[in-house]
Structures are given as structure tokens and as C-alpha cells.
């Protein structure tokens, strides 16, 4: 992974719902847009869907032009990073005078800052347990004279609901990997992960148009639903990856029936 600026994650205080923090960000701050330079900005599957649609691109083109792929040192899974512009090291979506040019579709990490969301799940637990910590970028003046926010007020204000929901579906894959004993992936399996999670338009072509047995094994109503709804397609793609790589079964029956192998 490339080196980036040091950021500070304060894990000493775990915040939820009505817990408060102080923060204000606006163009009058001397640091305005400082946080949009020299970032290790990890893009989630849902970030990619929002950004490629914002830019009117297919996922393949967006990924090729704007991202670099690394293999996570701990997980062995592909991680997609937004490429900073060469020389200036600024985010490609930043215009110095205007600020963020993809603001309505900016990535979840940009929305969540100055918080970071930690989501925990386990086999014995229903759903996901979440908490938030504060994060400080070195040049950020947002904590000075900041407005008081509750965590839930910030989540609502930044419209983080769909980002968190889709990230939790993505998290199911990591949980399934752990439960399967953390197996290492070979090159074909890494490609499967990349296809189902990140390269949505190519997954669409592969799954809905290609000669894959997986589609014939699937319920017709499900196929119809994902054909007409990209969000459903992404949800399906991530669960397809989970089953295919870590649960050894097909989506229709959820067991190791061998139909997908
Ligand atoms: S996407 Fe927008 S908010 Fe996020 S780093 Fe780039 S310019 Fe800044
Ligand atoms: S550095 Fe902090 S206060 Fe300044 S623009 Fe970025 S988020 Fe806002």
C-alpha cells in the first residue's frame, strides 16, 4: 500500500447514537479542501457504483481510469484505492475553486469524516453492532469552534444510510471468510471477488448474459429483479462472491450442492 499522511484515529472513545462531538466544515476554513489531497482513499463497492454512475461510465472504465488495486496484507483480498493526481496528489474530483465536483455521490469515507465507523458481526449475533470513533487529518481545523453533533444526526445529515447498509453486505464476505478458516485465494478467486464486488457492469454481462450455470440455477424472479435494479445487482453480486468463495454452495439452495463448482 502506498504511504500517505498520518491520520489519527481515537479509539479511546467509542461513540454511538446520541453521543456528541464538535465539528464544522465550510469553505471559510483556512484548511478548505486540504483533506482532499494525498489520501489513501479506499473505495467500497457502493462508492464505485455511485461514482461510475455520476460520471456516466461503465464500472470497467471507471476502475481503469480512477483506481489502483492492491491486495490487502491481512485479508489477501483486493482493495480498490482512488488514484490521486500525479504531481499535485489531489483527488481527481477536486477542483480548487469549486471543491468536490462529485459531492452528491462522494465516497462514504468522505461523508463519514471526522468519524470512522466500526462494524462488528459474528455468527452468534443478530445483525451488526456499530460504533464510531473520531479521526483527525493533520491539517483539519474542523474541530476548532465546531458545531455540536450527535452521531445519529451526522449519519442522517451526511446521508450515510445506504452506504452503511451496503458496507454491511460487503462485511458478510469478510465474516464468511473468517468462518471458513481464512483461506488464501488463488488468482481466479481474486478475480471472482473483484468481478462480483467492484466491476458491476462486467458482472452484469457475465451473470445475466453469459453462459453461466449460476443464472439457470437461480429463481426467475430474482434474476428479473437484479436485471432491472443495479442496487439489487450489487447486493446479489456480493452475496454470490460470499457463497462461491467461502461457503461452497450456490445461492438458490445455500448448501454445498456442488451446482456452482
Ligand atoms: S471525493 Fe470529493 S470529498 Fe472526497 S476526497 Fe475527493 S474531492 Fe474530497
Ligand atoms: S480539512 Fe477538515 S475542516 Fe478543512 S475542509 Fe477538510 S474536513 Fe473540512
Domain spans, the chain: 8-168, 183-247
Per-residue confidence (pLDDT) for residue 13, from 0 to 100: 84
Per-residue confidence (pLDDT) for residue 2, from 0 to 100: 41
Residue whose CA is at the smallest distance from ligand 2 atom 6: 35
DSSP code at position 11: E
Asked whether the CA dihedral 209, 213, 219, 222 is positive or negative, the reply is negative
Per-residue confidence (pLDDT) for residue 102, from 0 to 100: 97
Q: Which ligand is nearest to the CA of 33?
A: 2
Kindly give the parts of the chain with pLDDT less than 50: 1-4, 250-261
Q: The whole model's pTM is what?
A: 0.89
Asked whether the CA dihedral 225, 229, 235, 241 is positive or negative, the reply is positive
Distance CA 18, CA 37 (A): 31
Q: Which residues contact 1 (CB under 8 A, 6 or more apart)?
A: 40, 70, 73, 79, 81
* Ligand 1 pocket, Cβ-based, cut-off 6 angstroms: 36, 39, 91, 93-94, 100, 102, 106-107, 110
pLDDT of 125-180, one tens digit each?
677 889 999 998 888 999 988 899 999 999 999 999 999 999 999 999 999 998 89
Per-residue confidence (pLDDT) for residue 7, from 0 to 100: 64
The closest of 240, 127, 243, 88 to 176, measured between CA atoms, is 243
Residue whose CA is at the smallest distance from ligand 2 atom 5: 32
Amino acid at each position: 500500500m502506498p504511504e500517505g499522511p498520518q491520520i489519527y484515529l481515537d479509539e479511546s472513545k467509542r461513540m454511538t447514537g446520541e453521543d456528541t462531538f464538535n465539528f464544522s466544515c465550510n469553505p471559510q476554513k483556512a484548511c478548505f479542501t486540504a483533506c482532499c489531497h494525498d489520501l489513501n482513499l479506499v473505495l467500497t463497492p457502493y462508492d464505485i457504483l455511485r461514482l461510475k454512475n455520476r460520471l456516466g461510465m461503465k464500472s470497467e472504465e471507471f476502475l481503469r481510469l480512477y483506481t489502483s488495486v492492491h491486495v490487502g496484507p491481512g485479508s489477501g483480498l483486493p482493495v480498490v484505492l482512488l488514484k490521486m493526481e500525479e504531481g499535485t496528489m489531489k483527488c481527481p474530483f477536486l477542483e480548487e475553486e469549486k471543491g468536490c465536483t462529485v459531492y452528491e455521490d462522494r465516497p462514504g469515507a468522505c461523508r463519514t469524516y471526522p468519524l470512522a465507523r466500526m462494524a462488528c458481526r459474528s455468527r452468534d449475533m443478530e445483525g451488526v453492532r456499530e460504533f464510531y470513533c473520531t479521526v483527525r487529518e493533520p491539517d483539519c481545523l474542523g474541530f476548532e469552534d465546531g458545531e455540536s453533533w450527535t452521531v445519529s444526526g451526522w449519519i442522517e445529515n451526511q446521508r450515510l444510510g445506504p452506504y452503511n447498509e451496503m458496507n454491511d453486505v460487503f462485511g458478510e464476505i469478510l465474516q464468511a471468510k473468517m468462518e471458513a478458516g481464512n483461506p488464501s485465494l488463488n488468482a481466479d478467486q481474486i478475480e471472482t471477488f473483484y468481478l462480483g464486488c467492484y466491476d458491476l457492469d462486467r458482472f452484469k454481462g457475465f451473470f445475466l448474459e453469459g453462459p453461466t450455470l449460476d443464472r439457470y440455477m437461480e429463481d426467475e424472479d430474482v434474476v428479473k429483479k437484479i436485471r432491472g435494479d443495479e442496487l439489487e445487482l450489487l447486493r446479489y453480486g456480493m452475496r454470490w462472491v460470499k457463497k462461491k468463495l467461502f461457503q461452497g454452495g450456490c445461492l438458490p439452495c445455500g448448501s454445498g450442492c456442488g451446482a456452482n463448482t
